[in-house]
Structure formats: structure tokens, C-alpha cells
Amino acid sequence: MVSRKSADCSASSVAATLHRIKRLQTDRRYRDAQGACFIEGVRNFVHVSDSRLDIAVIVYSEKLLTAPLARKLVRRCRRSGVETISVSPEQFREISQTHRASGIGAIIRQRWQRLPSITPSMGLWVILDRVRSLGNFGTLIRTLDAGGGTGFILLNQAVDPYAPSTVRASMGSVFQQQFIRTHDQALSQWLQQHQGYVIGASPDGEENFHTFTYPKNTLLFLGEERKGLSPKQRSLCNTLLKIPMVGQVDSLNVAVAGSLFIYEVLRSRMLHSSDFRDN
């Protein structure tokens, strides 16, 4: 028999966790200070489990959660010592930001890498300063994952890979990519040390992006949607490439432009790499 005191403590713990989740969803400063974020949905939960991310708390609703795999993963996490909290359907819907609540969510630790721990030759990296739409950023993350890329180097605090809208748009790919936050000077020194070759995407590029042979240590630098690359950012680039446009528009959505570049790099590497040709 559960005592009234234990029941009250349990209810208090649930209320505190739900409050924390709401703050993680809406308060960027709190999210950064906690070094955590909240994810929901069966797809995201499976990706998190597969990626071996540090799960702090699992919140689920027995009645809403019908996916057998997700229920199995909840049991496995509970056995391994992860805190699991069962809530009512109504309580879960309070924190759900999806059209149809799946009944599964988790507070996870954000995962960041340090710039000195990587080299330009470790896959394909995309450098970003800022984006106007976090949904566009999520799309870029998803495309880079699909194109075999490694991660993003972020030059200031403006871009948040763990914002709810970014996570949703990435369709789980945010958990497969690496993220580094740094600044211009540190990036410049790192590029010189490792001989990184930076391709800047710009409408006034010297060459079309599909005629260029991309080096193995290529990094893509994508500018802000409206203003493009700043003079300081352009100085970090070894060359500027353009996407040919024959219509009336003079620029592309950053997610579209970035996606085209990512697949052009992949295509170029497939053509010039024996590793790709042998597969």
C-alpha cells in the first residue's frame, strides 16, 4: 500500500519534471544552462537510444504509447537505471508539441564536441554563423546526415541545434551529427593548422559549384539567408562557388542551397574516390 506522503511526493516529482520540460521547450537560456533538451516521439526516442545519448529522464504514458519497440526501450532503460516517469494522457498532452501525442519523450543531455578534437578530413563539415529559420537548420542537419556528412561548426550563439523546431525538422538526424561552437579567430587558427579548405557559397562565386573538384578536407561555409557571407567570413574561404540560376531569382533558401552543395560534394567524392568506386 502506498502512503499518502509517498503519493504526494510522487505527484510533486511529476509536476516538477513537467515544469522543467516546459522550460526546456520554451526557454533557450535555461536549455543552454542545463545542457539538456526535451525530445518526443517514437522516431526521436529510438534515434536517441541508438545514438547512446545520455538520457536523464524518460516520460511516457502507458495509454498513449502503443509502439512495441518504444515500450521495449523504456523497459530496457529502466533496467539500466534511467529514471522513468509514467504520466496520464492528459499530462503528456500538456508537454506535447506534436499534432498527435505519441506518449513518449525524454530529457537528454546536449552533446557538443570541441574544435581541437576534430580535423577537416573527418568527413564533411558545414560552417554556419546564423540562420533565420530553425526549421531550415533542421532540414540542413537532415540533409547532411543523408549525404554522409559529419557535423556543424557554429560561430556564435544564434543557432541552436537543440531547439524543438530544429529537432522536429531534422527528423532524428540531429542525434547522428556532431556540433561544435567556436568563434572566428579560433576557427581561422584551426583551419591554418589543419589546412582546411573552405568553400563559401555565394551568388558571386568565381566558379559554378558543379564544375569544381572538392578536396577531401573541404568545409562548406553557408551565409545568412538575406545578407550572405560577411566580408570577414569571406576572408576565411579559400574560394567562393555559385549555384547557377537561369530564372529571375537571385538567391536560394539556405536549406536548399546547402543541400545542393552537400550532394555536389558527395557526387564529386564518389567520382574521384577509389573507396566509392570500389563499392
CA 153 → CA 18, 89, 104, 157, 256, distances in Å?
A: 32, 39, 30, 11, 19
The DSSP result for 15-54, as a single string, is HHHHHHHHHHHH-HHHHHHHTEEEEESHHHHHHHHHTT--
C-alpha gyration radius of the chain:
22
The residues of the chain scoring below 70 in pLDDT are 1-9, 250, 272-279
What integer pLDDT is reported at residue 41 of this predicted model? 95
What integer pLDDT is reported at residue 273 of this predicted model? 66
What integer pLDDT is reported at residue 278 of this predicted model? 43
Are 218 and 124 in contact, with CB atoms under 8 Å apart? yes
Q: What is the C-alpha to C-alpha distance for residues 233 and 240, in angstroms, rounded to an integer?
A: 11
What integer pLDDT is reported at residue 274 of this predicted model? 53
Q: What is the C-alpha to C-alpha distance for residues 267 and 275, in angstroms, rounded to an integer?
A: 13
The amino acid at 199: I
Q: What is the C-alpha to C-alpha distance for residues 201 and 210, in angstroms, rounded to an integer?
A: 12
Other residues' Cβ atoms within 10 Å of the Cβ of residue 163: 19
Q: What is the C-alpha to C-alpha distance for residues 275 and 279, in angstroms, rounded to an integer?
A: 7
CA-closest candidate to residue 266, choices 210, 197, 186, 183: 210
Beta bridge partners of 58: 84, 106
What integer pLDDT is reported at residue 1 of this predicted model? 43
CA-closest candidate to residue 254, choices 124, 122, 123, 141: 141
The DSSP result for 196-261, as a single string, is -EEEEE-TT-SEETTS----TTEEEEE-BTTTBS-HHHHHT-SEEEE----SS-----HHHHHHHH
What integer pLDDT is reported at residue 50 of this predicted model? 87
User: Which residues lie below 8 Å from residue 193, measured CB to CB, with a gap of 6+?
Assistant: none
Q: What is the C-alpha to C-alpha distance for residues 190 and 186, in angstroms, rounded to an integer?
A: 6
Q: What is the C-alpha to C-alpha distance for residues 68 and 88, in angstroms, rounded to an integer?
A: 19
Q: What is the C-alpha to C-alpha distance for residues 255 and 240, in angstroms, rounded to an integer?
A: 18
Judge residue 177's burial from the number of C-beta atoms within 10 Å of its C-beta, 0-12 exposed, 13-18 middle, 19 or more buried. Answer: buried
